Structure 1
């Protein structure tokens, strides 16, 4: 399966790319904004395509045509203002959905945020971020795509543990980015994750088992 990754140069996107390339028949097309980033991914064995989420949907469609699935792991980052959050985390995600539909790609995975689906659970200090994630989620859910929405808690660096909690609603917690990437890969392997949205934090249960329990 060839997966187009938006946000491939971000931390979760890079980790997912590394992991998916280890899958049997796993292929990646890293969608990057700067051609200067291509060498890193080509050394990994990934294809690259240059396209800007702030640019036209047509360019995004061209960048992902021929892929089997899309992972949207892009984000504006904490160093930018609310305007960039809306342009990347919200409008960029909506454009990626439109591009996937135009390219005839059915499978779509979105990295969101824990509690994004419930306004009562939003962190007031970064409300603009939750607004962006909430409406990106809704755009994906209202599309015709075979979607999975992964809503991780606070993101940490460092090695993954391979053990998580996954459920429709979880208390706040944190999780290594490496484990989020591993859950994205597991979700692609598990057809029952289609049409599902779930919170994700660190836990004691192996990833495949935790996903299975969340979907039962």
Structure 2
């Protein structure tokens, strides 16, 4: 598949782009700044497209079979990027005929009131984007990881509709998103994930 990676320059996105570049899929790295193009081309040897989630993005999904949304505002513009930007890309994918959409969300996105007050605007934005994707005609998967770390990948996770709060490496989240692309058991599924004892493939097979 030709796969657009939104947020390809970010912590999870770079791992996703690297994994796709080593797979049978073809990665198209979406970046916000022209200055990031040569860096991504040289680092991963992939096609790079410049698109800003706060503006028109339809050109970014042209010719793509799937989207992995790994973008985030880091709290700077939760409504513009995490909510409206995601919704904008979902709509563009539908219009382009891009069927598959894998969304990186967040644990507790569906229950912001249970989280610390400072996190609620972000979680509310993620929930709005998740619900828009769930209501779309796209074949979606929504992954909601716990707190992200930069530790090395383990290749093992715990994944379920609900899990206890915990941590997970950015590298393992990326592996989960890429594995989910081809895992039919994740179609139409929304799940939480943290570090665990089960290989990613089998954890997703049991969803």
Instruction: Please give the range of the TM-score, normalised by the shorter of the 2 chains.
Output: over 0.9
Q: Which residue of 1 aligns with 2:61?
A: 64
Contact 1:115 1:169 in 2 (8 A): no
Q: Which residue of 1 aligns with 2:32?
A: 33
2:202 aligned with 1:209, yes or no?
yes
Residue 125 of structure 1 deviates from its aligned partner by 2.7
Q: Which residue of 1 aligns with 2:9?
A: 9
Query: Aligned equivalents of 1:152 and 1:71: distance in 2?
Result: 15
1:1-48 Cα shifts (integer Å, max 9, x gaps): 11101111111111000011111x221111111111111221212101
Q: What residue ranges of structure 1 are gaps of 5+ in the alignment?
A: none
TM-score of the pair, normalised by structure 2: 0.96
What SS does structure 1 have at the residue aligned with 2:72? coil
TM-score of the pair, normalised by structure 1: 0.92
Matches within 5 A, 1:37-116: 37-43=36-42, 44-56=44-56, 60-78=57-75, 80=76, 84-116=77-109
Q: Which residue of 1 aligns with 2:162?
A: 169
Residue 211 of structure 1 deviates from its aligned partner by 1.1
Residue 119 of structure 1 deviates from its aligned partner by 4.2
Query: Aligned equivalents of 1:52 and 1:158: distance in 2?
Result: 29
1:177-216 Cα shifts (integer Å, max 9, x gaps): 0000000011012112110000010001111111112x2x
Contact 2:113 2:120 in 1 (8 A): no
User: Aligned pairs, how many?
Assistant: 206
What SS does structure 2 have at the residue aligned with 1:9? coil
What SS does structure 2 have at the residue aligned with 1:150? strand
1:133-179 Cα shifts (integer Å, max 9, x gaps): 11111010000100000000000012111110000001100100000
User: Which range moved further: 13-22 or 112-121?
Assistant: 112-121
